[in-house]
Amino acid sequence: MILVTRINGAVFALNPDLVERVDCTPDTVVTLVDGTKYIIAESVPEFIDSVRHYRASLIAQASRLESEPAAHSSSSSDDELDAKVLPLHRKEH
């Protein structure tokens, strides 16, 4: 999530993955994929920088997690690491 500011000064978190477009009309209008629109105080370049920073931090965090050794205890067996499949029971009508 990124923090953006409404015109009235209220700050809120926005999921940048849901942004379809950002327009300057002259206020900055963020349109989400579902058609919801927000007018924000940040400029279009500031908004784009926030999204870039957010996505770069996700990539950096994923890279750090990937490079860390897996935390497996030495006493765990292969069976404990496998997913379990449970049968579903349906009610008979």
Partner residues linked to 3 by β-bridges: 13
Closest to 1 (Cα-Cα) out of 60, 64, 65, 57? 57
Q: Which two tokens stand for residue 77?
A: 């067996």
Cβ-contact 44, 24 below 8 angstroms: yes
Question: Is 0.75 surpassed by the pTM of this model?
Answer: no
Q: For residue range 47-93, what is the model confidence (pLDDT) as tens digits?
A: 999 999 999 999 999 888 877 766 554 555 555 566 666 666 666 65
Cα separations in angstroms, 66 against 44, 56, 70: 33, 15, 9
Paired with 24 in beta bridges are: 28
- With residue 1 as reference, give the H or E element that holds it: none
Q: Give the pLDDT confidence score for residue 82 in this predicted structure.
A: 67
